[in-house]
Chains A and B, each alone.
Chain A
Amino acid sequence: MRRNDSSGPARPARQRWRWRRAPLGLAVAVLLLIEVYPLLWLFLGSLKTQDEFLNRPTWALPADWLNFDNYVQAWRSGISGDLLNSALAVFPALAVIVVCGAAAGFALEVMVWKGRGGVLLLFLGGIMIPSQMILLPLFSVYFQTHLTGTLWPLILTYVATGLPLTVFMMATYCRAIPRELFEAATIDGASMLRSFWSIGLPVLANAVFTVGLVQFFFLWNDLLIAMTFTSGSGHDELATVQVGLLSFQGRFGTVQYGPTMAAICLNVLITLVLYLFLNQRVMKGMTAGAVKG
């Protein structure tokens, strides 16, 4: 029986069905409005002057569509420095997380040894631990080893907090590699270390990219750790993008709507562009890492 063969006897039922779908169509429209309008409003707002904010209704369109003064002002307030800090902290941490995480996941899933279940559980436990539990001792250590005032505390903490989920996800992906690949390589005389490097990693390339992408969003959007280790000690020059955005209104003194909106827009832009190109992969990766909560 063909699937789309539902016309014929079922016709009256189908028509009733369509009738009942109208409210659902409306619901979808409202849903999209709720999801998209705030962001649209944000973008429109970033093009408005202070005068427009105060004297025109909030849903009015900007008077001048090419008014990028707000962006210029926002950029001049130090966003470029924040961006550099974020990049310098996030990307090295990301590289370490992904490589070490893949290696550990490989050791825990492909290699056969006693106690690997226990070690995997140990990593899994780290996913549940709230960061608050480790911040205070880390702050003491970084303070005593004079790392405070550099980006090192941020990088180290990011690596450690990113590892548990990465190891867990990599172990899951390793499960799907056919073991025959490694048998063949071993017969050809390759060591397991070499097999990991020249077979495991290439086979896992897709997974590595997905996991890296997921971790990128976690680290790039992080506020708690960045705030604790950069702004807590009076080092404003170390602020990451998120910390910088939060203190943005402070930097401007009075409430300047336009530049704030432009700064938020710039902040959203990076994730927007990434999401635009990689949304299917992001959705897959994020839901696979749902254990993180």
Chain B
Amino acid sequence: MRQVLGDRKTIAVLLAPALICYSLIMLAPMIWSLGYTFFTGNPIRGFSFAGLANFDTLLHDPKTGQALAFTVKYAVTVTVGQVVLGYLLALLYVFHLKRSSGLVRTLVFFPVVLPTVAVSLLFQKLFAIVPQDGPVNSVLQLFGAESVNWFGSGAKAFLVIALMDIWRSMGFYGVLLYAGLVDIPDDVIESARLDGAGGWRLARAVVLPLSSPVLISALIFSINGTLKVFDSIYALTGGGPGSLTSPLTLHMYRTAFAYGDYGYGATIALTLTICCLLVTVAVFRGSRKDLLA
């Protein structure tokens, strides 16, 4: 049987299509992209060697610094929001709704599968001020406050972006963490209850420590995903006003395709990849057992 399972021809036939496709369209371009960082230009104008100029620009370009700062701010805010709200949802499902949580879980998960562009356009309308106040501004007026021009300043636009992405994905983290929480044996919780632990104390002393592995995984998945954010911000604010809500991904896209500088674009992409890799190292340290058992 070992011989049959180790048959080289069979392995090659099964593995080759995927491996070749993956190598040619992902691995090779990645290395190629590394090469671009030493050049300036684009495929239409042609390339010229630039040495380390791109890296020099990277260190002194205020726009890149701003984009990096925005990316980190966004990743941290949304990750905390997603995971904390997701965890609260999971606790709600397990300890409050119990067996009847199915419908709520399904409803709250739904925005996850909605097209990002559709959600972004919807949120533009929800937070609209012209030509007519959207629901959010209408509610504000109901409480006597003035309508807010949500997309007029970087801070407010950031708030809308964060709210939208948390709205979109908290159901996902709710279900992910729910799967971790239901794994906690009933008798552990039951015996803690009998010992007099209830509510807050039960959550802090028993549930939180027991669910920390899945919580850490969720945290890392979330950071890794939010660092790469593009679609939702591009469709919601386009990086505006100005470039106040541009993450690295959007800055890279503009640099390469609007200003036609592939070399510098690739350098920004590399910066982003390094950020993601740093998180990836954390993924392996945090969840090696689940991934490579």
The interface of chain A, by Cβ under 8 A from chain B, is 20-21, 24, 27-28, 31-32, 34-39, 41-42, 45, 53-54, 57-59, 96, 100-101, 103-104, 106-108, 110-113, 117, 119-120, 122-126, 128-141, 143-144, 156-157, 159-161, 163-164, 167, 182-183, 186, 191-193, 196, 217, 220-224, 227-228, 232, 241-242, 245-246, 255, 257, 260-261, 264, 267-268, 271-272, 274-275, 279-280, 282-283, 286-287, 290-293
Contacts and interface: CB of A to CB of B under 8 A. Distances in A.
B59 interface: no
Contacts, number: 284
B106 to A, nearest CB: 5
A186 B10 CA distance: 13
B133 A192 contact: no
A265 B111 CA distance: 13
A28 B175 CA distance: 16
A-B pairs, top 3 by smallest CB distance, nearest first, are A293-B225, A160-B25, A104-B18
16 contacts: A36-B107, A38-B167, A53-B132, A100-B18, A119-B15, A128-B280, A133-B272, A134-B33, A191-B10, A221-B113, A223-B116, A223-B234, A224-B253, A283-B109, A283-B175, A293-B222
A293 B235 CA distance: 19
B182 interface: no
Contacts of A136: 29, 33, 36, 256, 262, 265-266, 269
Given A106-B14, A167-B18, A223-B234, A261 B172 contact: no
A133 B97 CA distance: 44
A93 to B, nearest CB: 11
A123 B234 CA distance: 28
Given A28-B104, A111-B11, A245-B121, A132 B269 contact: yes
A114 to B, nearest CB: 9
Contacts of A101: 18
B283 interface: yes
B115 interface: yes
Interface of B: 1-2, 4-8, 10-11, 13-15, 17-19, 21-22, 24-30, 32-33, 36, 43-44, 89, 92, 96-97, 104-118, 121-123, 125-126, 131-135, 138, 167, 171-172, 175-176, 179, 199, 217-218, 221-228, 230-231, 234-235, 249, 252-253, 256-257, 262, 265-266, 268-270, 272-273, 276-277, 279-280, 283, 291-292
A255 B18 contact: no
Contact of A134 (B30, B175, B249, B256): B30
Nearest to A264: B118
Nearest to B275: A130
Contacts of B279: 128
A282 B218 CA distance: 18
